[in-house]
Structure 1
């Protein structure tokens, strides 16, 4: 899975929520740069790659695309001005051959803010309506308190199987 977002660390929130529900992260320290963690969610082992989102790191993302089962793309729904950049980065990534069969889960983050766009607005802004031949879903979320994260992951789990899944977490500070 690939997580792009601006601001709050969704991987940290997923770890906190999973830990509260009795699950265990095998690799827990998160830092800026390249890190990997494995989390169990509903009996599915997810290997999550945290690659960092600085523009100087983005060229290295493709080194981690092989065998990626799903992409989680987290958009700051309150930052209207950066939607064109979020769209361009998503479309460039989806054009990569190695990600052709990867599912796409989009989180419209920061729904706690009054100017946050809803799912339909974010979907249109980042071009989801143009996607063909790819399973995708978009969910509202607030990474600060975890609202919506489980619902999004619940969409992904039925599209997966019980084998370990490779995930890429890319933090894009847009």
Structure 2
């Protein structure tokens, strides 16, 4: 498992070779970075070594009062279009790292993708 922050985007492809799954975390409270996050997600999804990787997209900070709703986030990302055109199996969750909301679903997703 590797954690690669957004500022490390240019070196992400060097870690894709043996990757079986990807967890992509979006800060739902940082509206200034939404377009950048979407571009990074599209870059990850279009990487040839990740064509068969399972992808989990987490919309984090659901506990913050100023966060966008999952509906707004999906609309801004055009998630329906992305899911329809991406070759990877994809799941989306609204979570809160602070409160733990969604953690069980993330663990279940990990369990189901690593069991294959």
Q: Same fold (TM over 0.5)?
A: yes
More strand, by proportion: 1
User: Which residue matches 1:114?
Assistant: 65
Contact conserved, 2:63 with 2:99, CA < 8 A, in 1?
no
What is the deviation of 1:136?
Answer: 1.0
RMSD: 1.8
User: Which residue matches 2:2?
Assistant: 49
User: Which residue matches 2:75?
Assistant: 124
Question: Against the structure 1 CA distance between its residues 65 and 153, is the aligned structure 2 distance closer, same or farther, given a 3 Å change threshold?
Answer: same
User: Which residue matches 1:161?
Assistant: 115
Higher relative contact order (CA 8 A, sep 6+): 1
What is the deviation of 1:150?
Answer: 2.0
Larger Rg: 1
TM-score, with structure 2 as normaliser: 0.84
Q: How far does the alpha carbon of each residue in 1:40-83 deviate from its partner, in whole angstroms, 9 at most, with x for none?
A: xxxxxxxx1123432xx322111110121111111111122221
User: Which residue matches 1:63?
Assistant: 14
Contact conserved, 2:9 with 2:40, CA < 8 A, in 1?
no
Runs of 5+ consecutive residues of structure 1 not aligned to the other structure: 1-47, 163-174
Aligned length: 113
User: Which residue matches 1:82?
Assistant: 33
Q: Does 2:106 align with 1:152?
A: yes
Contact conserved, 1:90 with 1:126, CA < 8 A, in 2?
no
Contact conserved, 1:65 with 1:98, CA < 8 A, in 2?
yes
User: Which residue matches 2:92?
Assistant: 138
SS at 2:93 equivalent: strand
Contact conserved, 2:21 with 2:54, CA < 8 A, in 1?
yes
TM-score, with structure 1 as normaliser: 0.58
Question: Greater shift after overlay, 111-120 or 136-145?
Answer: 111-120
User: Which residue matches 1:14?
Assistant: none
